[in-house]
Amino acid sequence: MEPRKVFEKIRDEGENITKEEFKELVEDKVDELGGLCDHETASKLVAHDLGVNPEEELVEIGDISEDMERVSFIGKVVETGDVNSFERDDGSVGRVGDITLGDESGEIRVVFWDDNADLIKVGEIVEGDVLKVKNGNVQEGYSGLEVNVTGVTDIDFKEDEEIDFERETIDVGDLEEEMGSVHVRGEVLDVGEKKEFERDDGSMGAVRSLTIGDGSGRIDVSLWDDHAEMGLEVGDQIKIEHGYTRERYGNVELNVGYRGKVKESDRDVVYRENFADLGDLSVGDQVDVRVLVTGCEDIYVFERDDGSEGKVANLHLRDETGECKAALWGEKAGLVEDVEVGDRLKITDAEVRSGRSDEPELSLGWKSGVKKINSGRELVKEDLCNIEPGLEVEVVGTIVDDGILDDGTGCVKIDYGDVPGVGVRIRVSGVVQKKNGRSVLVADEVSEVDVDEGLADEVLEEL
């Protein structure tokens, strides 16, 4: 390696040395060895004297592979884990902790043992730090490749180094069965009660169910043990790290266990409802629909094969594209007593099944939701400047930006599945809610009034 490259390597390692000082040290080294080495060898010896290995090659995290025994790399601390104690076979007590380092190419788990683990425990290593790992030992861990900090590994803090790293997240709609260590952002749509249970070993556990969604869909989430204690509310924007998916009752569910984390999202997540048309239903689909009730049938009580009692009631539904029957099972059957012909309903998580005449029909079970839309309530016609959380309102205004409604007195974000484009004048009815410190109009119904072409052209020109 040429002396020039050795000098660059020394500078890259953070050594505050000028080119003239380096040349002087090299000449001194040549003289010290009585001329028995050339300048290239002398420059390498100077580097070693300064604690720099000129032959060391830094790799990107994404290039680390299982056939590498030892690696050196630089990464940003994107996560710190817990430090746990354990008993070795010889009876001594050890400690182990881990962090996750990331760079532009990826991320990897780094494991610290014993005294090194205390760097995590006492908070000497925190999220946001940039570290250089020298001679880390590459091993296959329980969730993929990891790097172990051993006796020959050095950890250096690179205070002047900046790494642009963003943890890759996956859309809710792209989650599949048996995925591990996934990161997801979503808006909390529903929060269930905490439930406690006894494990097979006699210890107590806890679980809380919630539903989150983003622009691609929604998913049920199970928060286990300590995560079940979190005081999450509908409308919270969260980021789940190291979740894993499982199949439950025919659907994909996201779980947050001991490795998982739930934190406030660092960016806004907008959940958009996606409603299916009755005329396009396919058997096997799980759908949400907005429908008009055209008929109600009485509750039918029957005996199951195991002797238990079951209940079912049917509703007849219609939208602009077609009509179908909906079967409400179990406790859901009682909802027909509160529904009348002419009511508009929002139905969520309904399964499409084949009916008696092979026509698709909706099946509503314990997971399904049924909500009346504008039935039996009086809407307050209000200016946007006067709306408050909790009000059920009807407003007329013009879309001036993506999902933003302006009525001339103020603006509000519209939470709805398919908001019309800029310049479209609409009538919106719904409930005002507080989300992330701002008022959002969660719409039950949106209808187009007319298109303000002049405003549309003006806004598009500004954009």
Q: Confirm whether 83 is domain-assigned.
A: yes
Shared-domain flag, residues 202 and 133: no
Q: Confirm whether 195 is domain-assigned.
A: yes
> Cβ atoms within 10 A of the Cβ of 341, count?
11
- pLDDT beyond 70 at 437: no
Q: Confirm whether 325 is domain-assigned.
A: yes
Using 50, 70 and 90 to split pLDDT, how confident is the model at 6?
confident
What is the per-residue pLDDT for 377?
46
What is the per-residue pLDDT for 380?
58
Shared-domain flag, residues 352 and 291: yes
Shared-domain flag, residues 219 and 143: no
Burial grade of 392 (CB within 10 A; 0-12, 13-18, 19 or more): middle
Residue 219: closest CA among 178, 171, 264, 182: 171
- pLDDT beyond 90 at 64: yes
E strand or H helix at 3: helix 3-12
Q: Confirm whether 90 is domain-assigned.
A: yes
Give residue for tokens 């929002």.
Answer: 346
For residue 162, give both structure tokens: 């900046």
Shared-domain flag, residues 148 and 78: yes
Shared-domain flag, residues 184 and 215: yes
Asked which of 264, 288, 313 is the last residue of a domain, the reply is 264
Q: What is the C-alpha separation between 75 and 85, in angstroms, rounded?
A: 26
Least confident of 36-45, 395-404, 437-446: 437-446
- pLDDT beyond 90 at 165: no
Q: Confirm whether 181 is domain-assigned.
A: yes
How many domains does the chain contain in total? 5
Tens digit of each residue's pLDDT (9 = 90 or more) over 354-384: 988 889 999 999 889 898 876 444 455 667 8
Tens digit of each residue's pLDDT (9 = 90 or more) over 140-160: 987 789 999 998 899 999 888
- pLDDT beyond 90 at 258: no
Shared-domain flag, residues 83 and 112: yes
Asked which of 373, 401, 435 is the last residue of a domain, the reply is 373
Kind of pairing between the strands at 130-141 and 251-256:
unpaired
Q: Confirm whether 164 is domain-assigned.
A: no
Q: What is the C-alpha separation between 140 and 142, in angstroms, rounded?
A: 7
Shared-domain flag, residues 307 and 287: yes
What percentage of the chain carries pLDDT values higher than 70? Answer: 93
For residue 51, give both structure tokens: 């604690």
8-state DSSP, 58? B
- What's 458's domain CATH number? 2.40.50.140
**Average pLDDT score over residue span 420-444:** 82
Q: Confirm whether 166 is domain-assigned.
A: no
Shared-domain flag, residues 66 and 152: yes
Q: Confirm whether 216 is domain-assigned.
A: yes
Give residue for tokens 């002047």.
Answer: 160
**Average pLDDT score over residue span 206-226:** 94
Asked which of 157, 188, 208 is the last residue of a domain, the reply is 157
Q: Is the pTM of this model over 0.75?
A: no
Q: What is the C-alpha separation between 253 and 389, in angstroms, rounded?
A: 31
Q: Which residues contact 217 (CB under 8 A, 6 or more apart)?
A: 171, 172, 173, 274
User: 307: domain range?
Assistant: 278-373
What is the per-residue pLDDT for 191?
92
CA distances from 18 to 4, 7, 22, 221 (A): 12, 9, 6, 57
One-letter amino acid identity for 426?
A: I
Answer for the pair 291, 279: CB distance below 8 angstroms, yes or no.
no
Shared-domain flag, residues 390 and 452: yes
Better pLDDT: 111 or 3: 111
